[in-house]
Structure 1
């Protein structure tokens, strides 16, 4: 069990008792965040960034931590999210192991990590925790909520649950609900972790750690983060040199296998497995239509559309990659159309990027101008 907290992280305490949507209460919990730029009175120039599943709050270098952030080219002086104009807040999601309270955190009731005693986590809980950060920072109304991937889900939930919290919304490779395809993939990832003999019902330690399960889960994830076009263009059928091949039967033989293995090994010990399980499942459960349905999990297509129509923002942009198989561009189209039906000036921008779901993290030549153009227009 470990938390991986970057230098320069700041915290805001959640209420002494923070109720969770599916039952249970967190006590003594906190949220990690970082900031850039200078806030205007009331926070009218504040942009809130809500992240995907695994990033921390360190989106870019700042005085508290000069290291390169996970979204470095997008944020800073003269960048698409220009910190000379915007005050930017990036929040590490509730349930993470990167500073905010999650399964790897200490349970004050026992003095031990929560592990699987952490309450069931929902996207709505992540949204409520982010809303608390905004309120505690004294921000009356955000200029924009930016949500990437899972953060796009959290952003929609935040806007639905806290009417008036933001003027505009930028949804990047997000979704209003999980699709069966993504549920299937994430289910396999969780199964790989749970069935690792070292998982031990969540009670692993550094010496007995579900490394194989985490490696397989990460490999499955990475495969879906990029497109078939990207994989073929980068690796084709290039084989490993003889001295790099595995000696064991059916071992690694192709360059793409070596890439996946190296990528997975870098990730394995940098993210807590229990946190991975909780955050992964929260995405599967999410359907914005639950805000309109009689009970959670009973939302129909009509409920999901009604959930989007209920959101009140002045302007919105949904950006997606045409090669994204994890959060297909049809989901961003649904967001744009639903928000427009609710009265927003909303549109879809579909990018012909070959990098799939990860395009917003690597294809800055396309995504950078799109983000800059939207923010310049608000």
Structure 2
């Protein structure tokens, strides 16, 4: 069991005990975060960024860590999220293996990693933990909370559970509930991990690690993160040269797209803990914003209290389809929020917000400038 904590991470302790939605509590838990910019005297220029499943809190480079972050092109001085104006906080998700407490962390009661003894994790728990970080940093009301992918789910839960915590909200390729297709894909990813004999009911180590299961899980995910249009334009039916084919397996890698998936998966598997992957993945499947009000998703959205909101998505996203961003905007609008949906024509699918900055950046900056 390994944690992968980026240099320059900072930490805030959660209250102990920290109760979780589905029962149980964490003791001695913490959240990893990073910040950029300076907080105004009145604390009114703070932005919170909530991430997808796998990123850490290192969204962009800073003095404590000069390595480029996962949103380097979006965030920084003079960039679309301009840190000369905004004080930006990015938190690593509760349940992750990148600094915040999760299944790979040490359980203070036993002195060993939690593994499957970690309590059942919900998106709402991540929202509660993020809210604690915001308060601990002295921010009473955020100018905006920005949630990407899974972070879009966490952001909606945060806004619902803490009315008035933010003036504005940008939901990027997010959702107010998990759809059957997304649940099915994540179910297969978890099954791939659990069927790997090396997983061993979560009792693996670096020498006996469920590499095959994690590779398959990551490949399934990457396929859904991009679009068929991009796969075709990027790889076509190009075959590997003979010297790039590995071994004598008659069913081995043959096409460029297969080689890309294999390389991507191999870079990921030893950089994310399998049990953390299982917990975070399942938390997304369980999420439905309507649960909290014992009603529909639409009713849950209508009870969110935020002044202005923008839901952004792309037509080619099959994992969090554009209909889900439209649902967010419509539901918030029904509750009195000044909300709209922006559908972008990016060919890059769900991951477009990470790579198609030329389209997403101006929309994010335009909304922030209007606050």
TM-score (norm 2): 0.99
1:108-257 alignment runs, 5 A limit: 108-246=108-246, 247-257=248-258
- Following superposition, the deviation at residue 42 of structure 1 comes to 4.2
1:355 lines up with 2:348 in the alignment: yes
User: Hey, which bits of structure 1, 4+ residues long, moved more than 2 A?
Assistant: none
Partner SS, residue 73 of structure 2: helix
Tell me how far apart the structure 2 counterparts of residues 92 and 313 of structure 1 sit (CA, whole Å): 23
Tell me how far apart the structure 1 counterparts of residues 307 and 209 of structure 2 sit (CA, whole Å): 48
Deviations 1:40-94 (A, max 9, x none): 1342100000000000000000111111000000000000100000000000000
Tell me how far apart the structure 1 counterparts of residues 324 and 92 of structure 2 sit (CA, whole Å): 24
Tell me how far apart the structure 1 counterparts of residues 284 and 91 of structure 2 sit (CA, whole Å): 17
Aligned to 1:283: 284
Deviations 1:329-375 (A, max 9, x none): 00000000111111111100000000000000000110011111110
Tell me how far apart the structure 2 counterparts of residues 15 and 37 of structure 1 sit (CA, whole Å): 27
Aligned to 2:293: 292
User: Which of 304, 318, 323 is matched with 2:316 structurally?
Assistant: 323
Deviations 1:26-50 (A, max 9, x none): 0000000000000013421000000
Tell me how far apart the structure 2 counterparts of residues 334 and 311 of structure 1 sit (CA, whole Å): 13
Aligned to 1:86: 86
Q: Which runs of 5+ in 1 are unaligned?
A: 294-298
Partner SS, residue 43 of structure 1: coil
Aligned length: 370
Aligned to 2:21: 21
Tell me how far apart the structure 2 counterparts of residues 180 and 42 of structure 1 sit (CA, whole Å): 44
Aligned to 1:369: 362
Tell me how far apart the structure 2 counterparts of residues 312 and 185 of structure 1 sit (CA, whole Å): 32
Deviations 1:154-198 (A, max 9, x none): 000000000010001000000000000000000000000000010
1:268 lines up with 2:261 in the alignment: no
Tell me how far apart the structure 2 counterparts of residues 42 and 343 of structure 1 sit (CA, whole Å): 26
**Contact 1:42/1:138 (8 A) holds in 2:** no
**Contact 1:35/1:87 (8 A) holds in 2:** yes
**Contact 1:10/1:34 (8 A) holds in 2:** yes
Aligned to 1:63: 63
**Contact 1:42/1:141 (8 A) holds in 2:** no
Partner SS, residue 53 of structure 1: coil
Deviations 1:127-163 (A, max 9, x none): 0000000111110100000000000000000000000
**Contact 1:42/1:140 (8 A) holds in 2:** no
Aligned to 1:333: 326
**Contact 1:106/1:114 (8 A) holds in 2:** yes
1:95 lines up with 2:95 in the alignment: yes
Partner SS, residue 260 of structure 1: helix
Q: Which runs of 5+ in 2 are unaligned?
A: none
Tell me how far apart the structure 2 counterparts of residues 375 and 53 of structure 1 sit (CA, whole Å): 24
**Contact 1:159/1:311 (8 A) holds in 2:** yes
Partner SS, residue 168 of structure 1: strand
Aligned to 2:337: 344
Tell me how far apart the structure 1 counterparts of residues 170 and 314 of structure 2 sit (CA, whole Å): 14
- Following superposition, the deviation at residue 291 of structure 1 comes to 1.1
Computed over aligned residues only, the root mean square deviation of the Cα atoms, in angstroms, reads 0.6
Deviations 1:245-297 (A, max 9, x none): 2321211100000000000000000000000000000000000000111xxxx
